[in-house]
Amino acid sequence: MEIIRAENLRFTYEGAETPAVDGVSLSIKKGEWIAVVGHNGSGKSTFIKLLNGLFLPSEGKVLVNGLDTADEKTIWDIRRRVGMVFQNPDNQLVATIVEEDVAFGLENLGVEPLEIQRRVREALRRVGMEAFAGAAPHNLSGGQKQRVAIAGILAMEPEVLLMDEPTAMLDPSGRREVMRTVRELHEQQGITVVHVTHFMQEALLADRVLVMEQGRIAEEAAPRQLFTDVERLKKLGLDAPPMALLAHELRAQGMELPQGIMTVEEMVNALCPLL
Ligand code: ADP
Ligand code: MG
């Protein structure tokens, strides 16, 4: 079932000569995980802000469950269903205590206090942060802050999670923490994910990868299909996941490795018989 439909989207910033998003059409199915990659300035951030009505298209339209983001009557409903996590964990937390932060959106919606309590507890549990309910956000690590930001969205009971490079400012363990959390939400609760990232290892988790270039979708493929063609990736200005690159280089040196190596585990399995 389709949950988001983008039809021939264009978006031009005021005063800009060329559109930042330039004719994108896309259908996202409920429960799908989409990764969006592409170099800086290719239009990724602008594109995902169009998906929950944070920006309205200059041309074309976005439908969320059939509701048009340009319709003022339903925009709050759309924003609740399609939550967004941004890159900088420090800009997203507004309260001085974690649980108040997670409750913030619900209070604005006028949800009953008891229901708020229940949902805040549940959301913190789902991101593994229940022990930090009374903590001050500024004492948390970057990864923990992002999980609290995700909890704030989960409390709104969304259907789609949009993430704009949510791990870009985190250390490796924070990155793993956040990706594990998102993976669980996707696998256990079937939440639909649209994930902008420049870590190809993270894009590997998606069902579909969109490669953006100058405001358009230049390429769309299953991650393993996309990352197998290292030369094509180089032309697109992208890397492959580290293990796919290593396999590519080792093959170039004459080592007979099977195709499709993407992870450390797959590399180990391929190398062991050669030792
Ligand atoms: P990405 O997220 O892929 O790096 P963006 O969507 O941020 O790309 O940017 C797409 C294009 O729009 C770039 O050319 C960028 O310079 C331009 N742009 C982004 N934000 C603004 C803004 N607030 N005002 C004007 N131009 C912008
Ligand atoms: Mg961006």
Strands 59-64 and 67-68, how do they pair? antiparallel
Examine residue 249 and state whether it is found in any structural domain, yes or no. no
Indicate if ligand 1 lies below 6 Å from the C-beta of 145. no
Dist. CA 97–CA 100, nearest whole Å: 5
pTM, entire model:
0.94
Examine residue 101 and state whether it is found in any structural domain, yes or no. yes
Predicted confidence (pLDDT) per residue in 157-183, tens digit:
999 999 999 999 999 998 999 999 999
The answer to whether residues 174 and 158 touch, using CB atoms and an 8 Å cutoff, is: no
Examine residue 257 and state whether it is found in any structural domain, yes or no. no
Name every residue whose Cβ is closer than 8 Å to that of residue 235 and which is 6 or more positions away in sequence.
Answer: none
Which ligand is nearest the CA of 44, by number? 1
Examine residue 229 and state whether it is found in any structural domain, yes or no. no
Indicate if ligand 1 lies below 6 Å from the C-beta of 42. yes
Examine residue 8 and state whether it is found in any structural domain, yes or no. yes
Q: How many domains does the chain have?
A: 1
Indicate if ligand 1 lies below 6 Å from the C-beta of 46. yes
Predicted confidence (pLDDT) per residue in 22-47, tens digit:
999 999 999 999 999 999 999 999 99
Which ligand is nearest the CA of 88, by number? 2
Residue 274, pLDDT above cutoff 90: no
- CATH at 47: 3.40.50.300
Give the start-end residues of each E strand in the chain.
2-11, 21-29, 33-37, 59-64, 67-68, 82-85, 160-164, 192-196, 208-213, 216-221
Task: Calculate how far, in angstroms, residue 238's C-alpha sits from the geometric centre of ligand 1.
Answer: 19
Residue 231, pLDDT above cutoff 90: no
**Domain limits at 77?**
2-223
